[in-house]
Every structure is written in C-alpha cells, then in structure tokens.
Amino acid sequence: MKKLNKLKDLKLMANTIRQDIITSLAEAKSGHSAGPLGMVEVFTALYFNVLKHNSKKPEWDQRDRVVLSNGHICPVLYVALANAGYFPKKELMTLRKLGTRLQGHPHREALPGLETTSGPLGSGLSQAAGMAYALKLDGKKNKVFCLTSDGEHDEGNLWEAVLFAAKHKLDNLVVVMDRNYIQIDGSTEDIMPLDPLDKKYLAFNWNVITINGNNLKQVIKTLQESRKNQKKPLMIIANTIPGKGVSFMENDYTWHGKPPKPEEAVKALKELENEKKRILSGKA
Amino acid sequence: MKRKEFCLEKLKGFNKTLGLKCNSKKIPTRNGYGDALVELGKKNKNIMVLCADLVESTRVDQFQKKFPKRFVEIGVAEQNLVTVASGLAAMGKIPFASSYAMFCPGRCWEQIRTTICYNNQNVKIIGAHAGVSVGPDGATHQALEDIAIMRTLPNMIVVVPADYEQTKKATIALAKYKGPCYMRFAREKTPQFTTKKTPFQIGKAQVLKNGGDVCIIAAGPVVYECLVAAENLQKKGISATVINSHTIKPLDEKTILTAVKKCKCVITVEEAQIIGGLGGAVAELLSEKCPIKLKRIGVKDHFGESGSPEELLKKFGFDANSIYKEILKFC
C-alpha cells in the first residue's frame, strides 16, 4: 500500500475504513462499534501516512511497532491492516467466526501485522515501553506507537507503565489515548473520574498534547511531529466522538460493546456513502 | 535419624550414571540462578534481567553489577515486571523476570497468561522464596499455589530444581529454550547432591535410585529429604524408587510410568499445595494411564505460618523423618 499524502485521499480511506467496520461487525453479529469508529482518523493517519511499515514484509526489522492496548477496538485495526494490504479484505467477513484469523480480541500469532496479543486491559503500555526500551538499548531509531483508551486508565498496571516510561525517558514511545469519555457501564467520569488526564501525565513527567482525534488533518500533523518527540515519552490525548460518523451511534455509550443489526448497518452505510459524496465533491 | 551418616552411594539401586555426590555444604538454590545469570550474560548479549525491588534476595545483584545496561529495576510493580519483559522479548531479548513467587506469578497471573503465554513470548518467570521454608515472614510470603497456577497455562514450562547445581543448569537450559518458562526456588540453604557431571534436560526426569516397593516422585530441595527417607525405608526392608521430577510441565510421563509399573504404590512430595501441583500432575497421569495406590505429600489446602524454616518443614511434613513415617503408614 502506497503512502497517501493528499488529505482528500486520506479522508476517503477513513470513510472506507468506517464502512468496512460497519460491514464486518454486522456480519459478525457481535463486537464493539463505538471505539473503532471513534479511532478511525488515528488508524488512517498511522497506517496510510505516518508509520514506517511494509505490509508485504510484516516482520521487517526497521518497522515502527504498533501496540493496540485496548484490544477490543480491533475491528479498526483489522480493517486498517486489510486496506493496507496485510491480508485480503474479504477476510474481514470472518471476524469473530470459528477458525478466523480475526479473533474477537487480537492474537499476535494469528494474523500478520499484529505486534501483541491484547484484550485484558492495562497491559499494552508496558509492552510498548519494553519494546521502546529495547530499541533504545540497541540504538535503533524505530518508533513505538501505543494505542490506549481512557477507560483503560482505571487499571493499575497502566500507571505502573507510565512511571516506567518516564523513568527511562522513552521519547521513542508515542501513546495515543482514545479519550471518548465512555466505558461499558457509562461515562468515565461517573465510573471512576480520570480528569484532568493532561495534568496527571505532565505530573508524571510526560510530554502531553491534546488534540481533536477526529480531525484528520490535526491527527496527521501531530503524529508526524511526534516522530521528533524528545526527552520524555509522549502522550497524545485524542478527544474523540465514540461511534463517530454514524449519527445514531455518536456519543451513546450503549454502543461500546454491540454491533449494528442488519437494518442499522444499512442506515449507517447510507450515512457513510453520503459522507463519501461530500468528500469527493470537496464539501467535507 | 542420624542425617550425617547418610551416604548416597550406599543406597541400594543407586543410579551411578547421574554423577550424584552428596556435599555437606548447603547452598540456597537461588544462588545457582544468580551464578548462572552471570555466565549467561557473558555469552549472550540478549540476556536481560528484570527485578521488582528484590535484587539481593533473588540473587540478581551480580548480574546487575556486571551488566547494568541489561538490568532493569521495575520497582514494586509485578504486573509491569512481566509485561515489560514481554515487550523486551518481542524485540528479541531473553528477559528473566525475577521476584518472590508469591508476587510473580502470584500477582500477575493474567498478564503472564495473555502477554507471555498466549502472546507466546520468550520470557522466563522466576519465583524465589517459594514454599513454607521461607520461614518467619509467614503465609503471605510463602508461595504454595504457584506451580498449580503456572501449570495450567498453555505454552508454559514449569521447572522446580532440586539443588544449587541443578538450578544453575536449569537456568542455562531455560535461556536456550525458546518460549515461556517458570522456575521456582526456595529461600533457605539446602543440601547438594547433583554435581557438574549430572545431566539436566527440561522434561527429562531423573531416576536417582531404583526400588520395587514404593515410587517416590518429588521436585525441589525436598528430593534430598526423599533420598534420606529412602535410606531409612531400606533399613525397614522397604525398597524405594526416587524420581527427581524437576520439570513438572511437561511431565516426563514415560520415565514416571516405567518406574511406577515396577512399584506397589506411589508417593509425591513437594513444598506446595497438593492441589494442582506435582501431586496433581502425577495423579492426573496415573489415574488415566496406570491406576495405582497414590499419596500426595504437600500442603493440604491451607496456608503456611511464621516459624523457623526447620520448624515449618517439620510441622508440614517435609523433613526426611516425616516423609519416612508417612510412607511407612501408607505402604
């Protein structure tokens, strides 16, 4: 897959990824909708513009590492990988089915392009930090991009990793937090208040940037610049809209862990097709 | 029982091919780990050691001094200990993650399951201070369930070496083996009976002595106690086979079945819960492939307590005399 440089092409890719997420989740009849849709811009920016990677050589030593810590949003990762050429797109229709390489939560050994196995929350950041530590030890320039969620910040393991990354000044580690304010049982601030996350990370000796995680231009610029991050690990707090792109899913926490029914999928795809037309006509 | 009179070589059915020799100098098994790490560190630049604020007592201090860049102090954070190790392994390192067995794997079992076993990363989990012989620290620090919780994990190897020299060899063998491993040690100084000449292979149990009445299968420093018990049984006219089953997973089924078929009853001995440990593994094997009278010696579904190691080993039945008496009652 060639790198996309034009914003319009990247927006079209984001639209394709959203449609593929809806289609595969509807086919699977189970899985998470809100998180994957909210993180489409981040995954589009990474896999089609920012990352050093080669879908034909998934084990290429010089590649950047992507660690998905909140494994349940894997539909967006699978769809991004398929569109980037890691495996045939038709395989997206096997999501969560018996014998699939697209397990309900990602399994590293099952599918090319996956760096870790994940699902149980709070452990991805420490694995990413371990990778970043090893890269520095060996004097290598590859970056480690770790994707985490806000709800995941309830986990103690995650904060252990925050301390570790700061201690070792892992500036080759870039973390993007999906700050969508929802988790399974409701609002993150009702369940276990996390704000102010930016100040918490600053106090833990991290570099912190807060962005609109659904503004593709801003996401790309921030991730491109993150390659020059220095002295401290970098936390990018990406404010996102859960269910972004599908009007009846946006900002509704009940869509955290369920897929669209067939009629809902039709409605969602229609909305996304209309969005595609707007992108093509230059109106979006 | 006069332990000082014990001499391996005088045991009937003693296996001369293993190069065993009793050494009056007691050394903790964990020292073998520390010494082997230094050897490994010199030969292989990918060897790394991680520790969770227990450098001296897990014996990783020598490695830390010799190879400071490849030593990672994690602090009191065992979940981070094993997950950072997983990340290092993903980059081709061979990390040894060391703590007390009660905390690692005790506190971080799910992280080990997901990020090391299912993720199939080449991480070595090291649990020191296992068993009641940890002593005065009490039950909170005496890991008894570690073998059981690690044995159930797919991809995981479980090794419980019997003495200093064997721990050294096991550490080197673990580094050569590609995949997740768990190894546990005791805290106290324990007798040595294997030597530099004694072979060690993961998954290959050692028949230390052959007999026809009772087959004793043990792991860890209690193996020595079983040899002493066997000598005393001999005086009573009971001949025992003693197997050092240092690898609990994969269990050496062939060696165990062959030996058991020559005996009338089986005893397992381990300084751990009888549920799910070596005793559990042997019971599973024998009930399916060779039903036979079996007794498991271990901690019987309760916690340890404070006391001196000697007092506790006696109270919980892990000294040679207790094992001897238990076998006399049973066989």
What single DSSP character describes residue B114?
Answer: I
Interface contact B91-A138, CB threshold 8 A: yes
CATH of B3-22+196-330, one of 3.30.360.10, 1.10.357.10, 3.40.50.920, 3.30.300.30: 3.40.50.920
Say whether B111 and A123 touch across the interface (CB within 8 A): yes
pTM, two decimal places: 0.96
Res B215: pLDDT: 98
> If you count residue pairs, one on A and one on B, with CB atoms under 8 Å apart, how many are there?
93
Residue B279 to residues B148, B251, B298, Cα–Cα distance (Å): 10, 11, 8
β-bridge partners, B27: B190
Amino acid at the residue A81:
L
- pLDDT, tens only, B80-120: 999 999 999 999 999 999 999 999 999 999 999 999 999 99
Distance, in Å, from the CA atom of B116 to the CA atom of A14, rounded to the nearest integer, reads 33
Could you give the residue range(s) of every CATH 3.40.50.920 domain in chain B? 3-22+196-330
**A2 pLDDT tier (thresholds 50, 70, 90):** confident
- The pLDDT, as a whole number, for residue A207 is 98
Query: Terminal CA-to-CA distance of chain A, rounded, Å?
Result: 24
CA distance A130 to chain B (A): 4
Quick count: other Cβ atoms within 10 Å of Cβ B171?
Answer: 25
CATH fold, domain B26-192, is: Rossmann fold (3.40.50)
- Tell me if A31 sits within 8 A of A50, measured CB to CB: no
What does the alpha-carbon distance between residue A72 and residue A81 come to, in Å, rounded to a whole number? 16
3-state secondary structure of B304: coil
Q: Do B119 and A119 touch (CB under 8 A)?
A: no
pLDDT at B3 over 70: no
- Residue in A108, A116, A130 closest to B88 by CB: A130
Are the Cβ atoms of A130 and B91 closer than 8 angstroms? Answer: yes
Beta bridge partners of B130: B143
* Residue percentage of chain A with pLDDT more than 90: 98
Report the SS3 class of residue A211: strand
Q: Given an 8 Å threshold on Cβ–Cβ distance, is A130 in contact with B120?
A: no
Please judge whether A107 and B83 are an interchain contact, meaning their C-beta atoms are less than 8 angstroms apart: no
Q: Does A135 touch chain B (CB under 8 A)?
A: yes
Question: Is A235's pLDDT higher than 50?
Answer: yes
Report the gap between the CA of A23 and the closest CA in chain B (Å).
Answer: 28
State the pLDDT at residue A1. 65
Strand B189-192 versus strand B23-28 pairing type:
antiparallel
**Which of A146, A19, A30, A145 lies closest to A80, judged by CA?**
A19
Residue B51: both structure tokens together: 């520790």
Distance CA B300, CA B137 (A): 20
**Chain B contacts to A (CB-CB under 8 A):** 69-70, 72, 74-75, 77, 79-80, 83-93, 110-111, 114-115, 118-120
Domains and CATH numbers, chain A: 7-280 (3.40.50.970)
Q: Is A85 an 8 Å CB contact of chain B?
A: no
Task: Give the per-residue pLDDT at B5.
Answer: 55
Residue B1 has pLDDT above 50, yes or no: no
Q: Which of B188, B216, B230 is nearest to B295 (CA)?
A: B216
Question: For position B2, what pLDDT does the model report?
Answer: 46
The stretch B180-200 carries a mean pLDDT of: 96
Q: What is the pLDDT of residues A264-277, one digit of tens each?
A: 999 999 999 999 99
**Interacting residues of B62 by C-beta distance below 8 A, sequence separation 6+:** B34, B35, B37, B38
Q: What is the mean predicted confidence (pLDDT) over A39-61?
A: 97
User: At CA B82, angle to CA A118 and CA A108, rounded to 5?
Assistant: 30
Query: In this model, does residue B19 exceed pLDDT 80?
Result: yes
Question: Above 70 in pLDDT, residue B310?
Answer: yes
CB contact under 8 A, B86 and A130: yes
Where does B101-237 have alpha helices with state H?
109-111, 146-151, 164-176, 222-235
- B78 tagged catalytic: yes
Looking at the predicted structure, is the pLDDT value of residue B18 above 80?
yes
Mean pLDDT of A55-64: 97
Interacting residues of B185 by C-beta distance below 8 A, sequence separation 6+: B28, B29, B30, B33, B126, B127, B128, B129, B130, B161, B167
Structure confidence at residue B170 as a pLDDT band (50, 70, 90)? very high
**Residue B119: closest CA among chain A residues belongs to which residue?**
A117
Say how far apart CA B279 and CA A252 lie, in whole Å.
Answer: 52
Pick from B156, B150, B51: which is nearest to B106 by CA? B150
Residue A239 has pLDDT above 90, yes or no: yes
Of the candidates B74, B111, B118, which has its C-beta nearest A164's C-beta? Answer: B74
Which amino acid, A55? S
The pLDDT score that the predictor gives to residue B9 is 82
- Residue limits of CATH 3.40.50.970 in chain B: 26-192
Model confidence at A12, pLDDT cuts 50, 70, 90, reads very high
Chain A CB contacts of B120 below 8 Å: 108-109
Looking at residue A248, its pLDDT comes to 97
Q: Which one is catalytic: B78, B165, B188, B271?
A: B78
- Residue B105 preceded by cis peptide, ω within 30: yes
* B242-257: b (≥16 Cβ within 10 Å) or e: bbbbbbbbebbbebbe
